Chains A and B, each alone.
Chain A
Amino acid sequence: MGAFSAAFELIASGDPVLLEIIGLSLRVTLTAVLIGCLIGLPLGAMLALLRFPGRSGVVVVFNALMGLPPVVAGLVVYLVLSRSGPLGPLNLLFSPTAMIIAQAILILPIVISLTRSVIEDLWEEYREQLRSLGSSRLRAVPTLLWDGRFSLVTGILAGFGRASAEVGAVLIVGGNIAGHTRTMTTAITLETARGDLSLAIALGLILLAVTLTLNTGAYGIGQWGRRAAG
């Protein structure tokens, strides 16, 4: 049990290494979520509303990509960013930016697919009324995204959950460099392997706490929203 008390000790004392790792993790994941939402919300809504050849194929592909293994996503980003890859000259490999890209790729299919599902249901309800008011399907995208805001929180949260929990992608493209690209999950992997359980446990507890806090907040927002906006 010495490892546990050492873990609490680390948290309580605000260990600078610990804080740095937490800070980087949150920065990477939240930025990736933001990017995932900026692209995924409108794209998911368009996928729900627009009719084009091959639409079902696209829907199936994004559904399947929700299960994309993080290591595969990491590998793809690695290949693209590596010195000989197409974006090699940008020199992004083993940087937080590379990790953000990899996580955004993991989040995107989740946000797209869940948004599509929410917006399809809303459209079913709103279609006649919006068409009567003169709205095209494309013009309905912002309308429905806003009206579905409280349901969409769930999809965004699922994206955050996936990104904050994964280790494979950030490990491959970030390299787990101390003080530079070490996140909570990669640190836990490394410290456990090295037998330094106290830091691993401290990070594990904090990761759990962050996830719990965000979910509580999102659940609260959802409940409040449904009561306040109907």
Chain B
Amino acid sequence: MRAEPSVLPLKLDSLSFVVRDTVLIDRISMMVRPQRRLFVLGPNGAGKSLLLRLCHGLITPTAGRIIWADPERAPRAQGMVFQRPVLLRRSVLANLIHALRLRGIGRRTARRRSEAALDRFGLRDLATRPARLLSGGEQQRLAMARAWVLQPQVLFLDEPSSQLDPAVTRLIENMITDFSAEGMTIVMTTHDLGQARRLADDVVFLHRGRLLESSPAESFFDRPSTAEARAFLDGELLW
């Protein structure tokens, strides 16, 4: 579907992030391959969100390298959906238009594409509503639509449904599956192992800032190779 060349794979080379003397990300090397759904799993404080922010360029690593296949295009070819979306104090439609305008897209094109996104995601009836006054689920759907309207090649999702009820969680999961089917690469964290089982192609498992496993989802869930991952999957490893 995409004309432009892929910015993937994304390679992390011995990536570290240290705050004062605390090592939060410890020499992580891994690969994000195109058109896969990669899940970053691990207990609380493992560094999952941090790893996503490092990949997305929101935080600068203290050591190691982030290597995109096309570093020039990489910044515009990625998007991120946060656990708690930050929406502008404007209408739903204006939120979408603003995101496109930031990319230097003209007013009319931005409006047309935004309206198309509203239709695509069933948000048409909310178009003129103030985004901040939507329900949590509606806000996250808008955040997803805003990420999609920019047509990123890679989408980072940081526990996008952790604060949502099961019905909305399903909606968000369906959106992720659809994005993926369109060729978008997904890199996502979740606390919900059921969700990971439903959606993941690949899994990397973090524990205390270190990458302990990196494998296809099936083999991770069926035959985890480390004791930590086994404990985590059994619900016994919380930190």
Contact = CB atoms under 8 A, between A and B. Distances in A.
A137 to B, nearest CB: 13
Nearest to A225: B89
B79 interface: yes
Interface residues of A, number: 18
A147 B131 CA distance: 12
Contact of B88 (A131, A134, A143): A143
A78 B58 CA distance: 51
B80 interface: yes
A208 interface: no
Contacts of B82: 128-129, 132
A54 interface: no
Interface string A143-162: 10011010000000000000
* Contact residues of A: prevailing secondary structure: helix
Interface stretch (B38-46, B96-104, B202-210, B227-235): B96-104
A132 B130 contact: no
A133 B102 contact: yes
Contact of A134 (B75, B90, B131, B133): B75
A84 to B, nearest CB: 51
A143 B86 contact: no
A139 B99 CA distance: 12
A132 B88 contact: no
B76 interface: yes
B79 A230 contact: no
A130 B79 CA distance: 11
A230 B131 contact: yes
Contacts of B103: 134
A229 B89 contact: yes
Contacts of A134: 75-76, 102-103
19 contacts: A126-B86, A129-B82, A129-B85, A132-B58, A132-B82, A133-B99, A133-B150, A134-B76, A134-B102, A134-B103, A135-B102, A146-B90, A149-B89, A229-B89, A229-B90, A229-B133, A230-B89, A230-B130, A230-B133
Given A133-B102, A143-B88, 4 more contacts: A126-B88, A128-B86, A133-B150, A230-B132
Interface of A: 125-126, 128-135, 139, 143, 146-147, 149, 228-230
Interface of B: 53, 56, 58, 75-76, 79-80, 82, 85-86, 88-90, 98-99, 102-103, 130-133, 146, 150
Closest 6 A-B residue pairs measured CB to CB?
A: A230-B132, A129-B86, A229-B89, A132-B80, A147-B89, A230-B133
